[in-house]
Chains A and B, each alone.
Chain A
Amino acid sequence: MLELQLLLGGLQNGALYALTAAGFALIFGATKVFHVAHGATFTLAGYVFIGAWNAGWHPVLGVLAAMAAAVAFGIAMERFVYRPIGRHEGGFFTVFVAAFGVSIVVQNLIAMVAGRGFANVDSPLSMASEVLPELFLAPVFWISIVAAVAMFLALTLFLSRHPAGVALRALAQNADLLRAYGLSSSKLSILAFALGSVLAAPAAILTAMTSGINEAVGNHVMLISMAATIVGGVGSLRGAALAGLLLGVAEAVVLTVLDTQWAEGASFMVLFAFILFRPSGMFGAAVAR
């Protein structure tokens, strides 16, 4: 039963990793911006929800506020950080350092406003009960799975059916051609940032409910997102989502055979394995040199 318990726990974490990683992959795939501040989006959304919860708001309003904060931050990053850097033809490292700097600023601002240290949502939804002998599940398990599936379905439908979604996919494949057809790549970039950021919000809310967060949680989120993006195949949304799920499951299931110390290491063993044996990731296309 331990194996099943670990598998289900891994699926719950993996669903949250998948949401965050897919957001990062969507932004990176469409705009080619290495959005390191995606972790800050996660942190911000989590703290906005906690603030709304503590203020006694209805949970739905809290979720909407967290999503709005995530989208606003993502768009602000695109408009006020990445676009000016792009205009001056700043390279990868300029973007990386700028985004990293913003993450630190956000981290410190959150600490100043919300206080340093652990913060969480005190909800009975995270309290597990014994559903079978030695098998404990909390309502938040089902919420995580349903939220992840619903978000991915909605995103898939948007990207495949809606003209803006199709244009976004075109932007990811060939931005020059897109502009030649008279479409605005800057508007689509904003859309990519908005969609990518909103995916982080449910993950942040559910993390605040299950394990709690702190102002520095974004660093860990970014590590997982980057690993999932590489394992899934750079630029592949479904790859990042599946890889996020895989990393979450690997982190938990590895405890059946290895010491607890290795839980996080398992994620990166998966990453190394892909880098060594399938550098293009699960769904990435090999590029000839």
Chain B
Amino acid sequence: MNSTRRLLLGSALAAPFAAPALAQNDPYVIGTLFPMSGPNAEYGTVFTQGAQLAIQHIEADRMLRRPIRLQAEDTQALPQQGVIGMQKLVNVDRAVFTLVGFTAVSKAVAPIGDRAQSVMVNGGAVGPDLAGLSPYFWNVIPLAHLETRALLPYLSQERRVRRVALVYVDDPLGDAILSELRQQLPRVNAELVGSFSIPRTAQQFGPIAARVRQARPDAVYIASFGAQQAQIIKGLRDNGVSTLLCSYSAMGLDSVRTLAEAEGLVFTSQKMDFEGGDALTRRFATDFNARFSKTPTIYNANYYNAVRLFGLLAQGIEQAGGTVNGESLRAALLARRRFDLVGGPGEFDDQGNMMAAIEVLEYRGGRTQRLVG
């Protein structure tokens, strides 16, 4: 009896020390806050595929001592759902690193991650105010102001565009693009001749096309995302808007590329050469194609890079004998700054924003053609 009591007592006393030992074998939890349902679900799939391939490579290369577990929370691209998901990720799943997308969602969850000192990495949203949201909020995608500043000189000089109309979604991304166009268009001798705000749920664009035609623009800039952006393109083209359509990197989706009405669409994106790039980029492109039976997009690469960044930072922390958490990850990022990523070396500034070159692309015959960059 005594020995049993001693065993129980000993076990109870040892429990606090045993727990961390078990935790050593627990996987690192990387959270994802993507839309997995609703009209923006296509992005969720695309974003997740990039992250999944990065985990496959990290495990194949034995970069880390502990496995990685991807914990998905469906945001439907809505800030409210994002906040609920982020609370769960940091408080229940103890995620040390969370992948986010969409400007409104990113802005909503940033304070939660900031308080919990949990790193959030954005590879899909481009609202300019995402820079400097928190020391723990990083961007591996160039933000919209960089994209519009690359596009507008091209429109002005090569396409002789002087009058631009904007169809923009009523959210922080759309507002940011509106503000950017108002500031930047006069600098390239052009003007904003009409701005047409639309709710996120809008699906009929015939009436908006009539208003756009009235403004007589040389080009129409579309600032939306998901299924809606394809609906806008179709709605404008089908209803007599034959002028040049242009946009930003959100147009890099198969559903837009294959849309007949998207022929001639000009948009900006990060510069990335999947075929002629370095060994890391070629490996990514080859293995992505093998696993998902399609050519990768920029978004696939961005979220691959986000998870690879975690792998590289955590590897360094493990080798130094440290604990992988938000604070140590941030310190490691600022100490190293430059990383080998898909598309070439990525360099981060003090706020955690990765610098990247921008290119101007065009859809022709269902294929992407490079115009500038």
Which A residues form the contact surface with B (CB < 8 A)? 2, 5-6, 9-10, 12-13, 104, 107-108, 111, 115-120, 122, 126-130, 134, 136, 138, 210-212, 214-217, 220, 251-252, 255, 259-261, 263-265
Contact = CB atoms under 8 A, between A and B. Distances in A.
Interface string B33-73: 00001110110110000000000000000000000000000
A118 B255 contact: yes
Given A211-B204, A259-B197, A260-B196, A128 B238 contact: yes
Nearest to B237: A127
Interface string B224-248: 0011001100110111100000000
Contact of B42 (A116, A217, A251): A116
B331 interface: no
A9 B210 contact: yes
Given A116-B42, A117-B41, A252-B207, A210 B199 contact: no
A95 to B, nearest CB: 23
Interface of B: 37-39, 41-42, 44-45, 170, 196-199, 201-211, 213-214, 226-227, 230-231, 234-235, 237-240, 253, 255-256, 259-260
A217 B45 contact: no
Contacts of B208: 255, 260, 263
Contacts of A127: 237-238
B213 to A, nearest CB: 7
A6 B210 contact: yes
Contact of B238 (A13, A210, A215): A210
Given A118-B256, A122-B259, A211-B206, 17 more contacts: A9-B206, A108-B37, A116-B44, A118-B230, A122-B260, A126-B234, A126-B238, A128-B240, A130-B240, A136-B213, A136-B240, A211-B231, A215-B41, A216-B41, A217-B203, A260-B208, A261-B170
Contacts of B253: 117
Given A13-B204, A211-B234, A211-B235, A260 B197 contact: yes
Contacts of A12: 206
A5 B199 CA distance: 21
Contact of A116 (B45, B203, B256): B45
A134 B213 contact: yes
A261 B197 contact: yes
A129 B208 CA distance: 16
B234 A120 contact: yes
Interface-centre pick from A2, A104, A216, A259 (highest chain B CB count, 10 A): A216
A272 to B, nearest CB: 17
Nearest to B41: A116
B318 to A, nearest CB: 36
Contact of A216 (B38, B231, B235, B260): B38
**8 pairs of A and B residues whose beta carbons are closest in the complex:** A117-B42, A118-B230, A136-B240, A116-B41, A214-B227, A9-B206, A118-B227, A252-B207
A115 B255 CA distance: 10
Contact of B206 (A220, A252, A264): A252
Contacts of A136: 209-210, 213, 239-240
B121 to A, nearest CB: 22
Contacts of A104: 37
Interface centre among A9, A104, A255 (most CB of B within 10 A): A9
Contact of B202 (A6, A128, A129, A263): A263
A138 B261 CA distance: 15
Nearest to A217: B203
A184 B259 CA distance: 49
Nearest to A260: B196
Contacts of A128: 238-240
Contacts of A220: 201, 203
Contacts of B226: 117-118
B39 A214 contact: yes
A119 B203 CA distance: 13
Contacts of B197: 259-261
A267 to B, nearest CB: 11
A214 B256 CA distance: 13
Nearest to B232: A211
A146 to B, nearest CB: 18
B214 A2 contact: yes
A7 to B, nearest CB: 10
Nearest to A254: B207
A120, A130, A217: which has the most chain B beta carbons within 10 Å?
Answer: A120
B259 A210 contact: no
A117 B255 contact: yes
Contacts of B44: 116
B207 A255 contact: yes
Given A134-B213, A260-B197, A111 B207 contact: no
B205 A211 contact: yes
